[in-house]
Structures are given as C-alpha cells and as structure tokens.
Chains A and B, each alone.
Chain A
Amino acid sequence: MKRRWLANRQSMVLGTFALIIACALTAINSFTRPAINNNRQLQLDRQLTEVLPHQQHDNQLQRNPKTLVDPISGETRTLYVATKNNQPVAAVITALAPDGYSGDITLLVGILADGSLSGVRVTHHSETPGLGDDIELAKSAWILQFDGKSLSQPVRWAVRRDGGDFDQLTGATITPRAIVRAVHRTLTFFHTNKQQIFSP
C-alpha cells in the first residue's frame, strides 16, 4: 500500500515538472518563432543575393522554391527561379560536393538564362581551417573565378594541377577540385533540364 502511494507520488511530481517545462517551452517557442523565421529568410535572401544580384530580377527568389532530382548525380536540388516581367531570367540551384576533404560541401550556384554563371558561394563546409576554407568569400576571392564562366566557353573544367583552367588553393587541391566538379555538374544539369527548370 505504501509502495503504491510512493510510486503515484513520484509520477505526479515528474509529470508536474514535465508539464510546467513543456508550457514554458511552448511559450518561448511561440514568442521566438517570428524572429527565427525572419532570420532564416534574411539569411537565405543574403545568400541568394550574393550569387544573383537583385537588379537582375523583380521577383522574390525564396518565395517559391522548386525541387528536382538530378538524373545524373541523383541529388535532390532546390531551385530558385528568378523572373523579370514574368519571364524566367536566371536560376539559383543548390549543389552538393560530396568529394571534399572532410564531409559534404554545399553550394549555391547562380546561372543566367544564357547558361553563364552569375555567382557561386559555399553555404556549408567543414574543410580544414586555414587551408581549405579559402573557398569562403570571407577568407579569399577564390570562389569569384567562376563568375561569367559557362559550358559554351572554351574552359577546361578542372583545376590547374589536373590540366584545367581553375586555380587550386595553396596547400589544398582536393577541396577546389570537388567544387569545380560540383559547379560543372550543376551547369550540365541546368543545360539539359533548362525547359523543366524554367517551366512555371
């Protein structure tokens, strides 16, 4: 009899604590949610603006993202289509470089309708600080060499060590190689699926 009473009391105390904490968390969650969503939008907007400047289009890029599976690499890509006067003028496409030095590197690749790159930025990576992280614009201008390149230009899509036209980084070849490949895959994806990407 006494044991049952004790067990009841324990579950009551534990349940009360859980209830109070759950209520507090709900309150804080609903209080912070607008600010958090706003931050996410701003962050995405900042990243999208970097690869595709605002003057190129007149719609809100992050409004209707589309997803398409890349038939070649098999990755699911998110697309942000930019329109001007309701005509598609460019697309920002997510890209994944799985063959970096440590872990996946995710990229945003901006491509204009004529197939040339408007910009490339790294959105997430865990490459070696001081060597591989020069792929961030904050650390070096390396990533800017993609601007204006396209498949139709006579560009060899590889780093110089592999006989290509892209600089590697001092002390890091694997990271740039992975990014050059990923950007090239994205351009090919854009080229072969352009109809589908730009269809509303």
Chain B
Amino acid sequence: MSNQQSGNLQSIWIDGLWRNNPALVQLLGLCPLLAVSNSTINGLSLGLATMATLIISNVSVSATRHWLISEIRIPVFVLLIAGIVTSISLLMNAFTHQLYLSLGIFIPLIITNCTILARAEAYASRQRIIPAALDGLAMGLGFALVLTALGALRELIGTGHLLANADQLFGAMASDWRISLPDSYRGLLVAILPPGAFILLALLLAARNIIEHRREALQNKADDSATAHQEAHR
C-alpha cells in the first residue's frame, strides 16, 4: 500500500493521522466505525480501546518477530490480538462497567478490526519495538479521531447535544459536561440512525479529498514554477 520501511518517525505520524489514516484512507474497520459512532463518548471510548489494542499488539508482534516463522505468522497474530482484546474487554467490564454495557458487542469485535491485523502484518512484524509502538499510537489515534469526530457530528445533528453521558468514561466529575443546542432544535433523527453514519462518513471522506486535492494542486504549481525558474536560469 505504501512504503513504510523508512522508519522515519515523522512520517509515522503523518501516515497515521492523515496520509494513510486507517478510517479515511485505508477504509479499514468500518464496521465499528459506523456502528458505534452514535455519540461522542461511545466513539471516543471505542477509539481509545482500539488504540490500546493497536499499540499492545504492535509491540508484542514486533517483540516476537524473530521467533515467528512466516508460515504461521497470521495465526499467531490472530491469537495475540484476540488475547489482547479479551483482556481489555475483561478490564473494561471490571472497571468501567456502564461504558462496557453501552459499547456492548463492539469491544470483542475490535478483534475483527482489519486495521490491527494489517498493521501487525505490514509494519510491526518488520520493525523495531519503538517505531512499532509509535505506529500503533499514530494509527490508533488517527482511527480514534475519526471515530470521535463522526460520533460528535452524529450526536450534535441527531440529538442537539454533545458529550452526553461523559461520566461513563470520565467518572462523576464529567456528569455536567453535556453541551446542548437551544431547545428549539429538535434533532435530525436520521443522523443517529445507521444511514446517518454512512452519509456523514461520506462527507468526512469528501472533505479530506478536497483538502488533499487543493494541497496537491498547490504543490504542483510550486513545483512547476520551480522548474520553470530553473529552466529560465539555464
């Protein structure tokens, strides 16, 4: 998909957050992305859980890469990822029970998020531990940001509120974090329903593409004028 052998730390960040963003460019992990993004807190929580999974799985894949035999690497990755997700799900059940109940089936389903297996295979299994951990952090953050943004958009358009139920993630001090639009806004129901997820994700993708095209056009213009300048010089 792209050249990630460089190990350049800055390019890891740019890749994860923008150039190769798992949700907006690679379009991986759409199932949880569309299903859980019906509120900011749900989106943020699942994003954080996915990020934690990605970091831990990248680190353990990278740490064990010398013992892995290429024929059995995929079963081992799956085993590792399943073990990590199960642990996270148990820990969430024990310490953030309300959140666990509201995310429901989507915590165990983190296992099936293709981003995690893709990063293990394409990146972590060929890199040293620190770049692998950073890659997990950057990719996870990229995914979590899109999930949170989509959740915030859907919650705001659909219900007219933002950050409802923040206490499920941040504890009792967050119970009054909810921001509400004026009561006259009744909420556009379709935004919380599944079609709203597709429509708003499409708008996010379109926005990213517009920005990217503008940037490329500017870049090309700059390059053109640079070559023109050089030729004129010659």
Contacts and interface: CB of A to CB of B under 8 A. Distances in A.
Interface of A: 6, 9-10, 13-14, 17-18, 21, 24-25, 28-29, 32, 35-36, 39, 42-43, 128-131
Given A18-B79, A131-B189, A32 B91 contact: yes
B87 A129 contact: no
Contact of A130 (B67, B87, B91, B158): B158
A128 B95 CA distance: 29
Contacts, number: 61
22 contacts: A10-B72, A13-B67, A14-B72, A14-B76, A18-B79, A21-B79, A24-B83, A24-B87, A25-B83, A25-B86, A25-B87, A29-B90, A32-B91, A32-B93, A36-B90, A36-B97, A39-B97, A43-B97, A43-B101, A128-B193, A129-B192, A131-B189
A28 B93 contact: no
Contacts of A14: 72, 75-76, 79
Contacts of B159: 130
Interface string B147-171: 0000000000011000000000000
Given A28-B91, A129-B192, A130-B159, 19 more contacts: A6-B69, A13-B67, A14-B75, A14-B76, A17-B64, A17-B76, A17-B80, A21-B82, A24-B83, A28-B87, A28-B90, A32-B90, A36-B90, A43-B97, A128-B189, A129-B193, A130-B158, A130-B187, A131-B189
The majority secondary structure among interface residues of chain A is helix
B231 interface: no
Nearest to A39: B97
A10 B71 contact: yes
A129 B196 CA distance: 12
A131 B186 CA distance: 12
Interface residues of B, number: 28
Contact of B94 (A9, A32, A42, A43): A32
Contact of A39 (B67, B68, B75, B93): B93
Contacts of A24: 83, 87
Contacts of B189: 128-131
